[in-house]
Amino acid sequence: MDNRPSFVMVGIREDVVFGADVRLVQPVNLYGCMIGDGCFIGPFVEVQAQVVIGNRCKVQSHSFICELVRIGDDCFIGHGVMFVNDLFANGGPANGNRALWKGAVIGNHVSIGSNATILPVHICDHVVVGAGAVVTKDIVEAGVYVGNPARRKEGISDF
């Protein structure tokens, strides 16, 4: 009996649309997505199908941007940021049933700190999400958001 695993190659598929002056640090795994002008994508980043990343964004190493995420212009995604599109609506993983997945929309001039987790939410323009924060609800007011679940931090000067 031969129990050899099957291998899936990682890299950059031909169906990725790149804007001008994009910089990538290999290895990356990009497929079916759009990357805007002047973006930087660090090593060990995965950007899945149907993701749109705006212009002049920086995505640091070890981040995961799952299907159905849309990121605006001039955004910063820190190291190890995880986006989630499956909320286990039926008590467990969707197991490929994409109809159960939900998307996230990130506004312009948003900075997301290292190791933050972003559930399917809308985040308005001019927001800072602190390192390690877990965003579980829409953010509709500019400001700094920290904690689990992420809440607006009062007393910090806004943009």
Q: What is the mean pLDDT of residues 45-60?
A: 97
Per-residue confidence (pLDDT) for residue 39, from 0 to 100 = 98
* Residue 117 lies inside a defined structural domain of this protein: yes
- Contact yes or no for 128/150 (Cβ under 8 A): no
Number of domains within the chain? 1
Q: Which residues lie closer than 8 Å to 127 by C-beta, 6 or more apart?
A: 107, 109, 110, 111, 139, 142, 143, 144, 145
* Residue 3 lies inside a defined structural domain of this protein: no
Q: Residue 105: give its domain's CATH number.
A: 2.160.10.10
* Residue 32 lies inside a defined structural domain of this protein: yes
Tens digits of per-residue pLDDT, 81-100?
999 998 888 888 888 788 88
With cut-offs at 50, 70 and 90, classify the pLDDT of residue 57.
Answer: very high
Q: What is the mean pLDDT of residues 23-27?
A: 96
With cut-offs at 50, 70 and 90, classify the pLDDT of residue 1.
Answer: low
Decide: pTM greater than 0.85. Answer: yes
- Contact yes or no for 55/72 (Cβ under 8 A): no
End-to-end CA separation in angstroms for the chain: 63
Q: How much of the chain is in helix, strand and coil states, percent to nearest 5? A: 0, 30, 65
* Residue 136 lies inside a defined structural domain of this protein: yes
Cα–Cα distance, 53 to 28 (Å, whole number): 15
Cα–Cα distance, 84 to 82 (Å, whole number): 6
Domain span at residue 52 reads 17-88+98-152
Tens digits of per-residue pLDDT, 109-124?
999 999 999 999 999 9
* Residue 58 lies inside a defined structural domain of this protein: yes
* Residue 116 lies inside a defined structural domain of this protein: yes
- Contact yes or no for 101/83 (Cβ under 8 A): no
